[in-house]
Homo-oligomer: A and B are copies of this chain.
Amino acid sequence: MIIGEASKATGISVKMLRYYEEIGLVRPALRAYSGYRIYSDKSIATLRFVRRARDLGFQVKQIASLLDLWQNGSRASADVKSLATTHVQELEQRRRELDEMIATLEHLAHHCHGDQRPDCPILQSLGAEDSAPQKATRPRG
């Protein structure tokens, strides 16, 4: 398999296949006489692993650790689980941040007329004199 085929087989762009090799995430592909990269079934499997880990939001450095564990028959599943749960906590943190942004914005947008008049609670909140933007917590009850 040459790189374009590997790209289709793995869902990783040609650019990224070369990049993952360059940064040492995966071993350099074999080369044909022409210089073309040649991918074995095994390397395709590894790359698929990488893509799935990316799909789960792992960063490249974490994927390197996961690959090590995957390829190390004497691993402890505790190590994998630890890596995964740490990652889940990071994702959850990001979700909390998103939630707060969304709640605030929805609250503000809800109270914006959205017509030709200029007054708008969104801008008012962003431009308020006191230090923090209005949060969409409770509506002052």
Indicate if the CB atoms of B91 and A98 lie closer than 8 Å: yes
- The yes or no answer to A122 lying at the interface (CB within 8 A) is yes
Indicate if the CB atoms of B66 and A112 lie closer than 8 Å: no
Indicate if the CB atoms of A77 and B114 lie closer than 8 Å: yes
Q: Which residues of A contact B (CB under 8 A)?
A: 11, 45, 48-49, 52-53, 55-57, 66, 69-70, 73-78, 80-82, 84-85, 87-88, 91-92, 94-95, 98-99, 101-102, 104-106, 108-109, 112-120, 122-123, 125-127, 129, 131-133
Copies of this chain, complex-wide, total 2
Indicate if the CB atoms of A76 and B123 lie closer than 8 Å: no
- Cα distance A119–B69 in the bound complex, in angstroms: 11
